[in-house]
Amino acid sequence: MRRRSEPHTFEQRLDAQRRRLEHELASLPVGVQRESVAARIEQLHAAAEMFEFLKLRDASAPR
């Protein structure tokens, strides 16, 4: 029977995707595709910041 891996957190998935795209970016020549990958990295960074903000806000909210 195949063993299922542990689920990854949203933050871990964002980080893994960002690292993969940064590795891809390093090998791309200047051009539209490189700009597209760089924009995606920025979006992932913004998503991570937003998630952190919301997580902190939720933790401090009264119950």
Q: Report yes or no on 11 lying in a domain.
A: no
7 occurs within a structural domain: no
DSSP string, 4-52: PPPPPPHHHHHHHHHHHHHHHHHTPPSSHHHHHHHHHHHHHHHHHHHHH
**27 located within any domain:** no
Residue 16 lies in a domain: no
The number of distinct structural domains making up the chain is: 1
What is the rounded CA–CA span in Å between residue 41 and residue 24? 11
Q: What is the mean pLDDT of the chain?
A: 90
Q: Is the pLDDT of residue 46 over 80?
A: yes
List Cβ neighbours of 20 (8 Å cut-off, separation of 6 or more).
Answer: none
For the chain, percent of residues with pLDDT exceeding 90? 70
Which residues constitute the domain of residue 39?
33-63
- Specify if 18 maps to a domain: no
> Between the CA atoms of 39, 40, 41 and 45, what dihedral angle is there, to the nearest 10 degrees?
100
* pLDDT value of position 56: 86
* 39 domain-assigned: yes
Between 63 and 51, the higher pLDDT residue? 51
Query: Which pLDDT score is estimated for 40?
Result: 98
**Model confidence pLDDT, tens digit, residues 12-35:** 999 999 999 999 999 999 999 999
